[in-house]
Amino acid sequence: MWQETTHYYIYLHHKQILVIHHKSTRKRVAQPLAQTLTTFSQPSHIQQTLLRTVELYVLDKQGNKHIARAVIDSASQSNFITQELVDKLQLPKQDINFAVSDINQKMLSIKHLSSLSFISKYHNYKFDLSCLLLNKISDNLPHLSFLNKQIQIPNHIPLADERFNEYRPIDILLGADIFWDLFLEGQIKTTKRGPVIQNT
């Protein structure tokens, strides 16, 4: 019979973006002679790009902390949050009439805006933002889960998103107005062609 094995190839793309190639291959393993019927399929090849994600605290109406997962996008002129999370936090919503365009120039009508307070999981850093409400910000990220042990991350480094390698929902999009405020001096290059760990 044929047994499937999975290989992961990881390298840095454009010095900023981690690209992962996922390929499945099949190898033959010994079986009794009675089992001679075998099948074969061509190897599959999937490529994905990892975006910058972070877990942080967001405060609800009573000031209690809740963990949320955000994607950081320097190309976005606005900040976004899901309707589901705002309802969970019981935050007030301001009625607005606003339109944004997606990457395909399709116009999206925005009807509500909320003001939120965020706190870092690791520092006392706190910031306030106004976010536009969407039913859904993006698909789960990354598009394919993978083993993070394939990346050589020092044990003493706390990651902004410790489960960055797991296929999980996005609650918030942090745009250009906060993007550069989140970055500090200091980088660690994991390998010659591997990802760069940025201090934030």
| CATH code assigned at 64 | 2.40.70.10
Same domain, 33 and 101: no
Same domain, 109 and 35: no
- For residue 191, what pLDDT is reported? 65
Same domain, 25 and 86: no
Same domain, 61 and 37: no
For residue 6, what are the CA distances in angstroms to 25, 153, 174?
Answer: 6, 22, 34
Omega before residue 195 within 30° of 0, cis: no
- For residue 92, what pLDDT is reported? 97
Per-position b or e across 28-47, b if 16+ CB within 10 A of its CB: eeeeeeeeeeeeeeeeeeee
- What is the tens place of the pLDDT at every residue in 63-109? 999 999 999 998 899 999 999 999 999 999 999 998 887 767 788 88
Same domain, 166 and 85: yes
Q: Are 29 and 35 in contact (CB under 8 A)?
A: no
Q: How confident is the model at residue 11 (pLDDT cuts 50, 70, 90)?
A: very low
User: Comparing 8-22, 146-160, 184-198, which segment has the lowest mean pLDDT?
Assistant: 8-22
Region of 104 on the Ramachandran plot (φ > 0 left; ψ -120 to 50 alpha; else beta): alpha
How many structural domains does the chain have?
Answer: 2
User: Comparing 23-27, 31-35, 117-121, which segment has the lowest mean pLDDT?
Assistant: 31-35
Same domain, 93 and 177: yes
Closest C-alpha among 176, 115, 174, 168 to residue 145: 168
Same domain, 41 and 60: no
Same domain, 81 and 130: yes
pTM of the full structure: 0.72
Same domain, 139 and 171: yes
The whole domain housing 142 covers: 53-198
Q: Is the pLDDT of residue 22 over 60?
A: no
Same domain, 66 and 131: yes
Highest mean pLDDT among 19-23, 27-31, 152-156: 152-156
Average pLDDT score over residue span 51-70: 95
Average pLDDT score over residue span 171-177: 94
Same domain, 72 and 137: yes
Q: Are 171 and 70 in contact (CB under 8 A)?
A: yes
Residues in the chain: 200
* 187-192, Cβ contacts within 8 angstroms, sequence gap of 24 or more: 188/154, 188/157, 190/151, 190/152, 190/153, 191/152
- For residue 67, what pLDDT is reported? 97
